[in-house]
Amino acid sequence: MTTPALLPLSGRRIPPLNLGPPSFPHHRATLRLSEKFILLLILSAFITLCFGAFFFLPDSSKHKRFDLGLEDVLIPHVDAGKGAKNPGVFLIHGPDEHRHREEEERLRNKIRADHEKALEEAKEKLRKSREEIRAEIQTEKNKVVQEMKIKQNKPLPPVPIPNLVGISGGDPEDSDIREKREKIKEMMKHAWDNYRTYGWGHNELRPIARKGHSPNIFGSSQMGATIVDALDTLYIMGLHAEFLDGQRWIEDNLDFSVNSEVSVFEVNIRFIGGLLAAYYLSGEEIFKIKAVQLAEKLLPAFNTPTGIPWAMVNLKSGVGRNWGWASAGSSILAEFGTLHMEFMHLSYLTGDLIYYKKVMHIRKLLQKMDRPNGLYPNYLNPRTGRWGQYHTSVGGLGDSFYEYLLKAWLMSDKTDHEARKMYDDAIEAIEKHLIKKSRGGLVFIGEWKNGHLEKKMGHLACFAGGMFALGADGSRTDKAGHYLELGAEIARTCHESYDRTALKLGPESFKFDGAVEAVAVRQAEKYYILRPEVIETYWYLWRFTHDPRYRQWGWEAALAIEKYCRVSGGFSGVKDVYSSTPTHDDVQQSFFLAETLKYLYLLFSGDDLLPLEHWVFNTEAHPLPVLHLANTTLSAEHGHLAEAAGHLMFVGSVPLLPIQTVQRDGSGCSGDPALQQRQAVEASCGINPGCIRGTEEEWELTVAG
């Protein structure tokens, strides 16, 4: 998970500024605010009256001269000779002179007619009553709303569903491990049931106050962030009744046409990622439709001079802006660099390459830029395309950018070599400049600030242990063993940050200065808000090594959460992990259900549940399938073919156009004359066994090359 770490309760929490009362006295020497407003109102009315009188007076010779002046600007004139009043105009002579004069006269007459028509319409409007004008305006509004509804309900083109492996199961053989997994499931049910009771529809829950809660990253609207974020965890755990409750709420209540300013990054990883994962796991079309509706609302954020998106966008108006605290109005690397996985799947599911183009444009721009010491600074100005403050971190502000480079390669079935190269280059620079070993032998990842290394590591950076292990296979010069060991060292350091606290829960960040190692020093860094990154790393290392220490460490964390974070109304973060009597922050984060509990459940499950050969987890732990289809629809060298064919989809070298329906259960294919040929294509391309329905006239198979 990634967000700015310098803020209280993570960068996802940007508290409103309390400016307090003004520090200067008011003097009666100036006009009161109400008096200024009245004067401004009078002045505005006077200006409006003047302009209205100018435009709506009956025709006059002066007005006609204005018309002709306008025509002189719009029409390329033919000069009658040397005595023309404007010798600088373009002259037309020869056989085409007569044709051009006729064209000029035709344009002149058209302008006059259009102008007269506009004046008549304006006069007609003025003759209507206020009620009639309001009725016309309302009619136009209703028409626009209806058109938007038609657009939203437009069915998406069906596409082949990738071969989905391991969406259920994972039952451990060992009874002790099975019992621990059931405990994690019970914790999930406790968190969900209390949210269902006290915070339903709100973005998050205050478990002690027992009411809904909404951080400013979701604006002022109730978008049910916890519902969307938790859906795939519920499904994986077999809590299907709870899953159906969430699905019904989404069908009936989830609306993105709200006047609300949201974080592009957060709604992408939580909402779009969560909806796409729920769609792939369950096959329910509503989740795909909602994901696409939301994605369309985010696209205006990319309307910047560089194409680097704003941090926030208003879902209704499309107006975007950046966080006020970000370096000189910059966008943040971990935010605009954490869109690739979800946007690639959006293009795959819709056939619309706009999502692919947006994220690839970001990648191309970053490739062209100079990087100090090979490092990516955390801030980039979307207006100028220049780096902001030279601050590099693998924790907050930077983390998931590197994660998504690696996962773009994995999601493409390891064919996106450009992403892999960018990842390898970045990791080499990080290892050279940021990764150090403390005097006590702990390997940590520091932060580069204005030319020097700050020996501090954030909880958010602890995800990197899992990332190094995940990226070990395929690394350069056969360094797989090295990166697997590096991941293990990071896991050990992060475990120490937990083990050296009174609660056995890790602080938000910890220092490595002198005698202080893996310990938070400042009070503002001692809180734990149910974060998942350490447990995420334990799970990845368990999958790759099956070293029992990772399950043991994960169980220690689970017991600590159960003991110190569980309250009667759910789970809450704590403000000081070094205090044996901690104070709760009274927030049950949505990512606790999406990530922390999911990774714990997977840690005590078999490897056949969501195997990493077939699934890639986004930075909010939402599993998206690897596109084993060679992914040529979205590749740079074949992208133009997909554009030319609309929602033409290339499966390997076989284009399918148009694709009607893929049945998940294989039903509905009997009697189809081309069934065997179609199933052969499915089998060769890794499409979920089933069929592509439709007659020969409704689809086409062509072997390219």
- The mean-pLDDT minimum among 168-182, 468-482, 633-647 falls in 633-647
Strand intervals (E) in 626-690: 649-651, 654-657, 661-662
- Average pLDDT of the segment spanning 4-19: 39
Predicted confidence (pLDDT) per residue in 67-112, tens digit: 333 344 344 444 444 444 444 444 445 555 666 677 778 878 878 8
Q: Measured between alpha carbons, how far is 495 from 504 in angstroms, rounded to an integer? A: 9
pTM: 0.74
Asked whether residue 581 is marked as a ligand-binding residue, the answer is no
- Average pLDDT of the segment spanning 692-698: 35
What confidence score (pLDDT) does residue 339 get? 98
Nearest partner of 475 among 541, 411, 517, 428, judged by Cα: 428
Tokens at 623, concatenated = 């599993």
Instruction: Identify whether the C-beta of residue 662 lies closer than 8 Å to the C-beta of residue 636.
Output: no
Nearest partner of 458 among 493, 503, 406, 501, judged by Cα: 493
- Average pLDDT of the segment spanning 412-441: 97
pLDDT at 27 over 70: no
What confidence score (pLDDT) does residue 76 get? 46
Number of other CB atoms surrounding residue 216 within 10 Å: 15
What confidence score (pLDDT) does residue 175 get? 97
Q: Residue 32's pLDDT band (boundaries 50, 70, 90)? A: low
Q: Could you give phi then psi for residue 437, rounded to 5 degrees?
A: -115, 130
Q: Which helix (H) or strand (E) holds 512?
A: strand 509-513
Predicted confidence (pLDDT) per residue in 663-674, tens digit: 334 333 333 434
Tokens at 465, concatenated = 């242990």
What confidence score (pLDDT) does residue 26 get? 42
Instruction: Identify whether the C-beta of residue 56 lies closer than 8 Å to the C-beta of residue 122.
Output: yes
Fill in the amino acid letter for 163: N
Tokens at 214, concatenated = 């909404």
- The mean-pLDDT minimum among 15-29, 426-440, 460-474 falls in 15-29
What confidence score (pLDDT) does residue 154 get? 66
Instruction: Identify whether the C-beta of residue 458 lies closer than 8 Å to the C-beta of residue 508.
Output: yes
Instruction: Identify whether the C-beta of residue 453 lies closer than 8 Å to the C-beta of residue 444.
Output: no
Q: Residue 580's pLDDT band (boundaries 50, 70, 90)? A: very high
- Average pLDDT of the segment spanning 684-700: 37
Instruction: Identify whether the C-beta of residue 532 lies closer than 8 Å to the C-beta of residue 1.
Output: yes
What confidence score (pLDDT) does residue 18 get? 41
Side-chain-side CA neighbours of residue 152 (13 Å):
16
What confidence score (pLDDT) does residue 604 get? 98
Handedness of CA 651, 654, 655, 656 (dihedral sign): negative
What confidence score (pLDDT) does residue 97 get? 64
What confidence score (pLDDT) does residue 609 get? 98
Side-chain-side CA neighbours of residue 335 (13 Å):
32
- The mean-pLDDT minimum among 76-90, 167-181, 362-376, 465-479 falls in 76-90
- With pLDDT > 90 as the criterion, what percentage of the chain qualifies? 64
Choice between 115 and 553, residue whose per-residue pLDDT is larger: 553
| CATH fold of the domain at 198-629 | Glycosyltransferase (1.50.10)
What confidence score (pLDDT) does residue 8 get? 38
Q: Measured between alpha carbons, how far is 563 from 549 in angstroms, rounded to an integer? A: 21
Q: Which helix (H) or strand (E) holds 266?
A: helix 264-267
What confidence score (pLDDT) does residue 101 get? 75
Choice between 58 and 549, residue whose per-residue pLDDT is larger: 549
What confidence score (pLDDT) does residue 667 get? 38
Number of other CB atoms surrounding residue 166 within 10 Å: 19
What confidence score (pLDDT) does residue 135 get? 78
- Average pLDDT of the segment spanning 287-295: 97
Q: Which residues are catalytically annotated?
A: 266, 399, 508, 533
Q: Residue 397's pLDDT band (boundaries 50, 70, 90)? A: very high
**204 - beta bridge partners?**
213
- The mean-pLDDT minimum among 162-171, 240-249, 500-509, 517-526 falls in 162-171
- The mean-pLDDT minimum among 12-26, 302-316, 470-484, 487-501 falls in 12-26
Q: Measured between alpha carbons, how far is 491 from 511 in angstroms, rounded to an integer? A: 16
What confidence score (pLDDT) does residue 118 get? 80
Predicted confidence (pLDDT) per residue in 53-65, tens digit: 555 544 444 333 3
Residue 430: which residues within 8 A CB-CB, separation 6 or more?
Answer: 375, 394, 402, 445
Q: Measured between alpha carbons, how far is 507 from 526 in angstroms, rounded to an integer? A: 5
Nearest partner of 622 among 270, 330, 315, 385, judged by Cα: 270
- The mean-pLDDT minimum among 379-388, 481-490, 646-655 falls in 646-655
What confidence score (pLDDT) does residue 105 get? 80
Q: Measured between alpha carbons, how far is 357 from 360 in angstroms, rounded to an integer? A: 5
Domains in the chain: boundaries: 198-629
CA angle (232 as vertex; 231, 237 as ends), nearest 5: 105
What confidence score (pLDDT) does residue 150 get? 58
pLDDT at 202 over 50: yes
What confidence score (pLDDT) does residue 696 get? 35
Instruction: Identify whether the C-beta of residue 396 lies closer than 8 Å to the C-beta of residue 10.
Output: yes
Choice between 120 and 332, residue whose per-residue pLDDT is larger: 332
